[in-house]
Amino acid sequence: MKVAPSILTANFIRLEDELKSVEKGSDYIHVDVMDGHFVPNISFGPAIVSQIGDLTSLPMDIHLMVEFPLDWIDKVIFPTTEFITIHAECNRFKESIRRILYLGKKAGIAIKPNTPVDVIKPYLDQLDLVLVMGVEPGYGGQVFIQSQLDKIRELAELKKENNYRYEIQVDGGINQSTAKQVKDAGATIVVAGTYIFNYQDREERIQSLK
C-alpha cells in the first residue's frame, strides 16, 4: 500500500518541519486545493503549493477541489507535481483531464460518496488515478463511509478486466483499520491527514498504513 500524507492537517507555521516528519516511508505528499465554492472551505493557492514542492523530496499528489479546474491546472504545474486530480462533479472535467495529460502530468478523477462509478467509466482508459472519497470532501477528521468499499471493488474489477493503468486512491476517514479494508477491496494508495499529523510518531503511523 502506498501512503500520501495530507498536508491540509499539518501545522503551517512549521511547514518545513512538518513535511520532513512524514517523508520517511511516504510515497507522495497529498495537497488539497479548495476554492470555497466547490467545497465549503478554503485551503491555499498556487504560491503555497509551490513552496510545498520546494520543501519536500516527495512527489506532489495535487487534489483540486475547485469548481473550475481549467483555471487552476496550469498554476499547479511544478517540477515535483506528479498527479493532478480533478472532480467528476466539477465544470468541464473532460477538458481538464486532456489539459493535465497535455502538460505531461498524470491525470486523476475524484468522485464524491454519492457519485457512482458509471459517471467516469468512459474515461477510465485515460486515467492514471481514480480517487474515491471516503467522506464528503472539504474537512478532515470525518468517519469513513463504508458503502465506498463497493466502489473500490468495482474499480479494481474494471481495472483488471480492461488492463487499465490507474491507481485506486482513497481519501477520508483513513486509519489502520479502514486502510486494511480499502486495501482488501483493491485500493493502492491511501491518503491520511489527522491519523498521521495528530500524532508525534508520524513514521510509525505511516508504517501502520503500509
Q: Which candidate in 32, 35, 61, 128 is catalytic?
A: 32
C-alpha angle 57/196/36, rounded to 5°? 85
Rg (CA), the chain: 16
* Cβ atoms of 59 and 28 closer than 8 Å: yes
Sheet holding 81-87, edge to edge: 2-5, 189-192, 167-171, 129-133, 106-111, 81-87, 60-65, 29-34
196: nearest Cα among 61, 30, 42: 30
Q: Tell me the three state secondary structure of residue 68.
A: coil
Distance CA(126)–CA(154), nearest Å, equals 17
Is 171 a known active-site residue? yes
The closest of 43, 57, 35, 46 to 7, measured between CA atoms, is: 43
Q: Of 35, 61, 128, 171, which one is the catalytic site residue?
A: 171
- Separation of alpha carbons 170 and 112, rounded Å: 11
To the query of whether residue 17 is one of the catalytic residues in this protein, the response is: no
Residue positions annotated with a catalytic role: 32, 171
